[in-house]
Amino acid sequence: MYCVRKVTEELYWVGANDRRLALFENIHPIPRGVSYNAYLLRDEKTVLFDTVDWSACRQLIENVEHLLEGRPLDYLVINHMEPDHGASIEEILLRWPDVKIISTEKAFLFMHQFGFHTDSHECITVKEGDTFSFGGHTVTFIAAPMVHWPEAMVTFDTTNGVLFAADAFGSFGALDGRLFNDEVNFDRDWIDDARRYYTNIVGKYGPHVQKLLGKAAGILDQIRFICPLHGPVWRSDMGYLIDKYDHWSRYEPEEKGVLIAYASMYGNTEAAAGALAARLAEKGVTNIAMYDVSNTHVSYLISESFRLSHIVLASVTYNLGIYPVMHNFLMDMKALNLQNRTFAIIENGSWACKSGDLMQKFIDEQLKNMTVLNERLSLASSLKADKAAELDALADAIVESLNK
């Protein structure tokens, strides 16, 4: 059975939801599922913008067939070739053998690499600034390399102000019938998944996102709809999301606040982290988020690192090194290019306590534009009363830094 939503005159959402997939890209948990968005334009020509993951292909085909009402599919525009959107291209080509494909040179290369048989189809290669008319609607193509793969582009329909945004402005989370941002409470129900999606999938490519935002700024007054490849379609309050993207892609925190991430084997480092959190709250800091790195998937830690201005790392020493999951968190911060944060360190070790120096060295040498507070809490196995002054000094240093 088809399941479509009308976006605007002649344009329909024809995507699908996936609530069965446990791990997006086989790495990031998606307990709320994910949507694969595709869009069909019924102009003088019929145009499908992107496809869906292979798991959702059947739904896409039913949706497209329903809306075509027996008409041929004339064009397939591929903004992004990653298989969560491109996997169904081959099926579209088989069902509509006369369809013409419009995409970038690199996307055609990727189609070849993935084994899609495009040779018998007319392939129209487009680049930045090219325009194309489907009858009443004229679109212009805007290069968006590394948002999030090198072949990516976005397409702007100058007739109705629809921006087909590829991976930009997307979110984890399956749609529950509600398609538009003003049909949901985005700030309550979606922003955490939108941030986790952006920071973990596109976070590394902030400068490229900044470039795209710069291009979007030039047509901002013309954009009426933002149609991403995942999550809700935006038709109001776009400044809200653009502001989030601006912060994330400049690696500037959204909020002043403290992320406390602790690695604890027997609860002693956890207790110290908890004591620090209580001191901070007593001193008036209420924007605190506390996580056990051992049972929190690193994608959530990364998302919170992008949200908050200050990060406390509390880690035991393990095999004379940083506790492995904490080390993994640091490695992910590096991989995703996190910058401009202030760190505080709690270290623990029953003998040869090394984790503090090693975390500091990693932050200083492997991460960019970070500050590590001088105050540090060092534990020998557990937090004792004689460390109260050190604990207070660390809390005071964090508060002072937050108030700067």
Distance set, CA 66 to CA 3, 46, 247 (Å): 9, 13, 41
Which of 85/341 has CB closer to ligand FEO? 85
Which of 245/362 has CB closer to ligand FEO? 245
Are the CB atoms for 286 and 302 separated by under 8 Å? Answer: no
Count of residues for the chain? 404
- Site residues, ligand FEO (CB under 6 A): 80, 82, 84-85, 148-149, 167, 229-230
Are the CB atoms for 402 and 311 separated by under 8 Å? Answer: no
**φ, ψ of residue 386 in degrees (nearest 5):** -70, -5
Distance set, CA 169 to CA 164, 231, 278, 404 (Å): 10, 8, 36, 31
Measured from the CB of residue 297, what is the shortest distance to ligand FEO in angstroms?
19
Measured from the CB of residue 112, what is the shortest distance to ligand FEO in angstroms?
18
Measured from the CB of residue 29, what is the shortest distance to ligand FEO in angstroms?
16
Which of 149/318 has CB closer to ligand FEO? 149
Which of 85/195 has CB closer to ligand FEO? 85
Measured from the CB of residue 149, what is the shortest distance to ligand FEO in angstroms?
6
Which residue type is seen at 163? L
CA-to-CA distance for 159 and 154, rounded, in angstroms? 15
Measured from the CB of residue 142, what is the shortest distance to ligand FEO in angstroms?
16
Which of 80/196 has CB closer to ligand FEO? 80
Angle separating helix axes 324-335 and 355-366, nearest 10 degrees: 10
**CA count, 13 A, side-chain hemisphere, 329:** 31
CA-to-CA distance for 226 and 229, rounded, in angstroms? 10
In sign, the C-alpha dihedral spanning 154, 40, 135, 78 is positive
Which of 30/285 has CB closer to ligand FEO? 30
Measured from the CB of residue 230, what is the shortest distance to ligand FEO in angstroms?
6
**CA count, 13 A, side-chain hemisphere, 402:** 25
Are the CB atoms for 383 and 277 separated by under 8 Å? Answer: no
Measured from the CB of residue 281, what is the shortest distance to ligand FEO in angstroms?
39
Are the CB atoms for 232 and 179 separated by under 8 Å? Answer: yes
DSSP state of 283: T
Angle at 29 between CA 25 and CA 32, to 5 degrees: 110
Measured from the CB of residue 53, what is the shortest distance to ligand FEO in angstroms?
9
Which residue type is seen at 377? L
CA-to-CA distance for 93 and 186, rounded, in angstroms? 36
Tokens of 371: 């500050």
Which of 34/293 has CB closer to ligand FEO? 34
The closest alpha carbon to 328, from 374, 359, 350, belongs to 359
Which of 244/327 has CB closer to ligand FEO? 244
Which of 50/192 has CB closer to ligand FEO? 50
Measured from the CB of residue 190, what is the shortest distance to ligand FEO in angstroms?
16
Which of 43/82 has CB closer to ligand FEO? 82
Tokens of 57: 């292909």
Measured from the CB of residue 64, what is the shortest distance to ligand FEO in angstroms?
19
